[in-house]
Structure 1
Amino acid sequence: MSEQTHVVVIGGGYAGVMAANRLTQRDDVTVTLINPRPAFVPRLRLHQLVGGTHEAVVDYRGILAEGVRLVVGTVTRIDAAGRNVALASGGTLGYDYLLYAVGSGSAEPGVPGAAEFAHPIATLEAAQRLRSVLGAAPAAAAVSVVGAGPTGIETAAELAEQGRRVTLACGGVLGPYLHPRARRTVARRLARLGVTVLEGPDTKVTAVTRDAVRLRDGRELPSAVTIWTAGFGVPDLAVRSGLRTDAAGRLLTDETLTSVADERIVAAGDSAAPSDLPFRMSAYGAGCLGAHAADTVLRRIAGEQPAPVDLSFPAMCLSLGRRAAVFQLAHKDDTAMRLYVGGRAGAKLKELSCSFSVKHLANEARKPGTHSWPAGDKRREQLLVQAQLQSQSQSQTERGRASTAAERAA
């Protein structure tokens, strides 16, 4: 009987589940998935949980391969030298390879009063608390949503469709990723729902109180419930474990998604920073990166050279309540096209996207190794070359400064 290789996957989101399922292709690989919750959370549905139109939980039994062992717990530290992880409940778990897929959440707001009075939405527990807060608030209470990315837009629309009085403080452009044509459609839909959209740099929130938000231009808006969707953050597990990360705390990897510090550690999803050029946050991207990370591990086990990641983003979907959405088509370099689908047709495509993000996991559980995705274009290669040239230039400048300082000292 061949020796077993044990792979530990940290994180049971889109990337972690996809990776864990794909790793079961080999009979000589055992897989343990560690996740803080006993159920899968489809984060694309969290704004619906807040609005009461979806519970945003899926039973792991329907999407996790039978050969994957699920451990409900939290990893507090990774010991790369000892090849084990420490659990909050006590004890350690050893591994031959580690797949790091801890996902993302909200960054610390850094705005006076926001941590105390604003409500995040990036986790299941946060969304459940916010749902309770809204349930206790009067129907006519003023609601402010801070941040006009996908989560902010979707949350504002979801609540406004239910009759809530919503103000969306963009702090910049509404839906910055969108093509201007699609952005105008989003703005019109929000207006029809009664959402007050505040755009421009002067609408950046500078303070939050119990019953108001203050903007950069000095305005103070009544807000019985303030929802914070701005910013991006990742768990600090890699930083606490002494692993090399980017400025945001994502694990630094090469283009095969292998940690630059340890080839036994591979990363995927929002918590990975390949070549310090992370991909756009999305459930679609997380699933594809999870599959590629698993392929990297499997190739290393087989003694083969892993392949560089190759990924394109065909679209971005934004729900605008239950009856409309924008399905923004994208070029292979992940820039928005003029083409998009709106209205009820867009809503159907958005719902299909949400459903398929989970269905892909279930399919991979049944037939590991079958998930596929469209290849990217040459733009990432160009960005990598530019980044390398910039790094070399900075290194030469620093060496020159050091040499000049040494000559002066002499």
Structure 2
Amino acid sequence: MTAHSHVIVVGGGFAGVMAANRLTQRPDVTVTVINSRPVFVPRLRLHQLVGGADDVLVQYREVLADRVRLLVDHVTRIDAAGRAVELADGSRLDYDYLVYAVGSGGAEPRVPGGEFTHAVATLEAARALRSRLDDTPGTAAVTVVGGGPTGIETAGELAERGRRVTLLCGGTLGPYLHPRARRTAAGRLARLGVTVLDGPGTKVTRVTREAVHLADGRVLPSEVTVWTAGFGVPDLAARSGLTTDSAGRLLTDETLTSVDDERVVAAGDSAAPSDLPFRMSAYAAGCLGAHAADTVLNRLAGQPAEPLDLSFNAMCVSIGSGAGIFQLASKDDTAKRLYVSGRAGAKLKGLTYTFSVKHLVKEARKPGSHHWPKGEYRREVLRDRPAQAPVAQR
């Protein structure tokens, strides 16, 4: 180990901030977070920004430890062999270890007319959608494509504000939810005035400026079409010659270390440990960020890195401001019959907004304090998985 080590964290979301704060446990480690925005964006609240909320963003000084340097810039390439990152202005910054936490965004629609859709997954996209809605009459038909949490939350938020919303599931509404909770979600959306269309026939085949075409032949008027189906990750790892999974996430072992270089560790939505990535969520991102930091700290101390052990206990979704569903889950991240709905569900969802940020603040003030529930289900899944080479991209 050198006398002083520099760790670069690429990405300033939940995973990146958690990792950076946790790394400050060692006084001989300098931490730099490189992020393209000067403010922290809690992505799980972007649907509220679209609906008109103005208190979504958080200043980095509130969530980053004082010892962490924030560099507002864009990493264009990782030179793993040279242990440096290349920045947008052509300059380079050296590192001893790198935490890859670039996060995720919405998937590009793979249908004709995708340019006529709007997204919610990034701050810039959410602001653009809000501006578009501000310029559109309140009676205009709005279509939300995607029946997952983002689609449900966006549809509920806009309907509560008087918009005429159709939610196209392209399959099942809330596929993660238990069937009982799914029925509750459908009922709440109906009470808000959302028209929910599900089943395979509701897959979108084409979008125009004024309509959405479905697989079953229907054509729905739509002056504003919001695309929330699927996800995408930045291609930085692939462009840098690092091995990724088929979706572009950095392929790692169970310690979150890149399969190419032990000096590169991944966290959050952009990590694919053992080609078996976790469900994308702020909760998982924070836990993976903390574990990525622990992997780096162990290596700096000359100790072996430990495999990640993470279990889930719930998933929650808001349906307007007055209701939500807090879906209890087994440790293997499958939904139980038990769930909390209505106003109580909304309050629990609100607590997730609060505590997702508070966990970062606590880690900044007391690095090493973040803990999460453990479970051996993942070890069992990996043990029982048929032996095969992961689908990797270079």
Fold agreement, TM-score > 0.5: yes
Give the aligned residue type for 1:363.
K
Post-superposition offset of 1:387 = 3.3
1:36/1:73 contact within 8 Å kept: yes
Q: State the match for 2:63 in structure 1.
A: 63
* Partner SS for 1:78: strand
* Partner SS for 1:371: coil
Q: State the match for 2:315 in structure 1.
A: 316
CA distance in 1, matches of 2:14, 2:389: 33
Q: State the match for 2:260 in structure 1.
A: 261
CA distance in 2, matches of 1:232, 1:49: 19
CA distance in 2, matches of 1:342, 1:388: 39
Q: State the match for 2:14 in structure 1.
A: 14
Q: State the match for 2:382 in structure 1.
A: 384
Q: State the match for 1:52 in structure 2.
A: 52
Post-superposition offset of 1:108 = 1.8
Give the aligned residue type for 1:357.
S
Change (3 A) 1:222 1:155: same
- Deviation string, structure 1 residues 338-358 (Cα, Å, up to 9, x no partner): 111000011110000111000
Give the aligned residue type for 2:52.
G
- Deviation string, structure 1 residues 241-276 (Cα, Å, up to 9, x no partner): 000000000000000000011000000000000000
Post-superposition offset of 1:107 = 1.7
Give the aligned residue type for 2:91.
G
- Deviation string, structure 1 residues 155-207 (Cα, Å, up to 9, x no partner): 00000011100000000000000000110100000000010000001100000
- Deviation string, structure 1 residues 47-76 (Cα, Å, up to 9, x no partner): 000000244210000110000000001100
CA distance in 2, matches of 1:108, 1:209: 15
**How do residues 257-296 of structure 1 correspond to structure 2 at under 5 angstroms?**
257-296=256-295
- Deviation string, structure 1 residues 65-119 (Cα, Å, up to 9, x no partner): 00000000110000000000000122010000000000001122111001x1000
RMSD, aligned α-carbons: 1.2
* Partner SS for 1:389: coil
Give the aligned residue type for 2:376.
D
Aligned residues with identical type, % of pairs: 73
1:103/1:269 contact within 8 Å kept: yes
1:44/1:283 contact within 8 Å kept: yes
* Partner SS for 1:292: helix
Post-superposition offset of 1:388 = 4.9
Q: State the match for 1:171 in structure 2.
A: 170
* Partner SS for 2:190: helix
CA distance in 2, matches of 1:301, 1:109: 43
Q: State the match for 1:334 in structure 2.
A: 333
1:257/1:293 contact within 8 Å kept: yes
Unmatched runs of 5 consecutive residues or more in structure 1? 395-410
Post-superposition offset of 1:391 = 4.2
Q: State the match for 1:76 in structure 2.
A: 76
Unmatched runs of 5 consecutive residues or more in structure 2? none
CA distance in 2, matches of 1:148, 1:215: 15
- Deviation string, structure 1 residues 314-355 (Cα, Å, up to 9, x no partner): 111100011100000100010001111000011110000111
**How do residues 363-402 of structure 1 correspond to structure 2 at under 5 angstroms?**
363-378=362-377, 380-391=378-389
1:313/1:333 contact within 8 Å kept: yes
Q: State the match for 1:224 in structure 2.
A: 223
* Partner SS for 1:227: strand
The two structures have a TM-score, normalised by structure 2, of 0.97
1:48/1:55 contact within 8 Å kept: no
CA distance in 1, matches of 2:381, 2:173: 27
Q: State the match for 2:98 in structure 1.
A: 98
The two structures have a TM-score, normalised by structure 1, of 0.94
CA distance in 2, matches of 1:147, 1:124: 19
Aligned length: 390
1:22/1:365 contact within 8 Å kept: yes
Q: State the match for 1:303 in structure 2.
A: 302
Extract structure 1 runs of 4+ deviating beyond 4 A. Answer: none
